[in-house]
Homo-oligomer: A and B are copies of this chain.
């Protein structure tokens, strides 16, 4: 089953649009991990196991592993997710982008080395830089469109023929890059009107939506502006608010409660 098929099936079976972000920061781990040499893996595994029932996808963020030299933990984590939670797709959040020959190596990194079902990708270098990802028809390519950070508008909002750059990216992805039907878009939660505009451009291309919670985005506004006709189309990503919901011994239960609460809040508006 392709990434997109897996995602659509999971939206139905889990009745959830929540994407659980796995961004390990050892300084925030509960005390019980203080002496655990394998803390990065063990903490992420515990969070994933506790929240899987509420997750339409998992999204490990690779910088958090790379800064720690924890590539091995990331590999074992993704392998664990596939075995323990089959049917929940794994998106490697790495926002790669390079010229074609090098992009081949990034595709090998994400899909062959780590076994991710999908990867995030940066469009600035153009289509040929994304092509090695697109060519893997069974995998997903989640292209940055309008991000949730403060400086996102520096480039993404620049106006070209009366429309911002991010809308041109949305159009290129939906009409030119999505030949295998394996594309999705990153569209941040912080500006609901932008979600609505991009949705109008791209039909039912899935959105990965960061920025709910810690970054101030509102779940109701996201769903109202960005859902597809069948009430899905979204991976609403939450990382810190789930991972670090409690620093006590109840970290896993607290993470599950946070994921369930976000699922319920989203579902109340679908």
Contact = CB atoms under 8 A, between A and B. Distances in A.
Nearest to A102: B63
A136 B164 CA distance: 31
A52 to B, nearest CB: 23
A69 B71 contact: yes
A249 interface: no
A98 interface: yes
A232 interface: no
A219 B150 CA distance: 40
Contacts of A105: 63-64, 66-67
Interface in A55-114: 61, 63-64, 66-67, 69, 71, 95-100, 102-103, 105-106, 108-109, 112-113
A166 to B, nearest CB: 10
Interface residue range, chain A: 35 or more
At the interface, is chain A mostly helix, strand, loop or mixed?
helix
Contacts of A16: none
A97 B113 CA distance: 21
Instruction: Name, among A148, A149, A153, A169, the residue most crowded by chain B CB atoms within 10 Å (CB to CB).
Output: A149
Nearest to A177: B154
A64 to B, nearest CB: 5
Contacts of A61: 98, 102
A122 B143 CA distance: 14
A229 interface: no
Contact of A66 (B103, B113, B144, B165): B113
A125 B151 contact: yes
Interface string A144-161: 100111111111101111
A86 to B, nearest CB: 25
A128 interface: yes
13 contacts: A67-B105, A67-B113, A95-B125, A99-B147, A100-B151, A125-B144, A125-B151, A125-B152, A125-B155, A126-B152, A131-B151, A154-B172, A155-B165
